[in-house]
Amino acid sequence: MSYHNLKVAALAGALASALALPGAALAQVSIALDSPPDLQGSGSYVWAHAFATHLNENGIEAQEFQRGALGGDDEVFDQVSQGLLELGMAPLPIVASIDTLIFGLRLPYFFADMAEVDMALLDGGMLERMNAALTPSGVRVLDVTVVGAATGIFNTRRPINRMADMAGLRMRALDESQIALFQAWGAAGTIVNWAEVPNALQTGVADGYLNPAFVPLLFGHTEFIRHFTDAAIAPSLRIVIASEDWYQDLGEADRATVDAAVEVARAANRDWLPTQEGVLDQLREANVAVVELDDDARAEFFEASMATYDQIVTPEQLALWTAAVGR
């Protein structure tokens, strides 16, 4: 067994032993990070750090674990769902094997801004609806985090000024629905694990990806990413998953503290977003050429993207998201 796997196994054993003791659910709240611990560049880390700080200041010990220290996204999900890990910062698709309602958050050009996302999740009840399907499997979406301005198009080959410029590009995709989106734009897609993206971009396996503007800066991709189009496709979101067993075992006072920590972390995360307005200038300083789409070009992408909605969510799910934003 590798050192990494021994380390994960030891942690899992320790957590399992702790959870078996009366009142031990709060011996320590462990949080698996999904990004570098950068309070300026990572909205995900802003949420995690604010959450941990609030718990530590209110009598509940919380500890952050570096990205990858407890395994990849799948391993973190498994540990959370089994009650071996309290919290993990995670990508949206990680819970889609249980229920695909969450994919409404990925609909291109559906949400006007982050305020509309929060309206749907909180006032419109979509966070509660998602958890109704997820919690029987041992996992809860504790919150949704914004990790940057709306996603744009990065690539290694050329500027994208109009949708026609996508022809001939092969884009890294998260899944089949994103491949369908690229095809609707006239490009191709290939599914690549995030850890393999740098190599894929440098070897030509993929020519680019969709992400918020900060990503190549945070992950060191500006050595080979040369172009960014600020297409504002969809909100840049990730989720916070929590062990349902852990959450339900909390006493009334401790649950109130955890719920308050979520509110504090959400506020810190949303307040962080406006600080990212200078990211486009940082890309330019890193020799990444930036294209800001005109209204006609944006309309082309919007019209083509709408044809993929039925490949992202079901008609019933789309109706729920539409009602949740008051349309």
Over the stretch 248-296, which tens digit does the pLDDT of each residue have? 999 999 999 999 999 999 999 999 999 988 999 999 999 999 999 999 9
Domain co-membership, 47 together with 170: no
Domain co-membership, 129 together with 20: yes
Over the stretch 107-116, which tens digit does the pLDDT of each residue have? 999 999 999 9
Domain co-membership, 64 together with 189: no
Count of Cβ atoms closer than 10 Å to residue 48 Cβ: 28
Given a cut of 90, whether residue 176 has pLDDT beyond it is no
pLDDT at 174: 87
Domain co-membership, 15 together with 144: yes
Closest CA to 67 of 83, 89, 87: 89
Domain co-membership, 221 together with 136: no
Looking at 18-22, 92-96, 164-168, 315-319, which range is the least confident one? 18-22
Over the stretch 138-156, which tens digit does the pLDDT of each residue have? 999 999 999 988 999 999 9
State the burial class of residue 315 (Cβ atoms within 10 Å of its Cβ: 0-12, 13-18, 19+).
exposed
* Sole residue written with tokens 């990503």: 215
Domain of residue 219: give its range: 152-234+277-324
Specify the amino acid at residue 168.
G
Q: What is the mean pLDDT of residues 38-66?
A: 96
Domain co-membership, 257 together with 207: no
Domain co-membership, 219 together with 308: yes
Given a cut of 70, whether residue 90 has pLDDT beyond it is yes
Phi, psi of 96 (to 5 degrees): -70, -20
Looking at 14-18, 45-49, 180-184, which range is the least confident one? 14-18
Closest CA to 238 of 205, 206, 254, 215: 215
Given a cut of 70, whether residue 186 has pLDDT beyond it is yes
Please report, rounded to a whole number, the percentage of residues in the chain having pLDDT higher than 70.
Answer: 92
Given a cut of 50, whether residue 4 has pLDDT beyond it is no
Domain co-membership, 164 together with 309: yes
pLDDT at 78: 97
Domain co-membership, 77 together with 193: no
Domain co-membership, 249 together with 315: no
Phi, psi of 29 (to 5 degrees): -95, 115
Over the stretch 10-29, which tens digit does the pLDDT of each residue have? 444 444 444 443 344 456 99
Given a cut of 50, whether residue 213 has pLDDT beyond it is yes
pTM of the predicted model as reported, rounded to 2 decimal places = 0.84
Q: What is the mean pLDDT of residues 82-91?
A: 97
Q: What is the mean pLDDT of residues 103-129?
A: 96
Domain co-membership, 271 together with 281: no
Domain co-membership, 262 together with 114: yes
CATH number (domain holding residue 258): 3.40.190.170
Q: How many domains does the chain have?
A: 2
Closest CA to 231 of 106, 109, 105, 103: 109
State the burial class of residue 186 (Cβ atoms within 10 Å of its Cβ: 0-12, 13-18, 19+).
middle
Using CA atoms, how far apart are residues 269 and 208, in angstroms rounded to an integer? 27
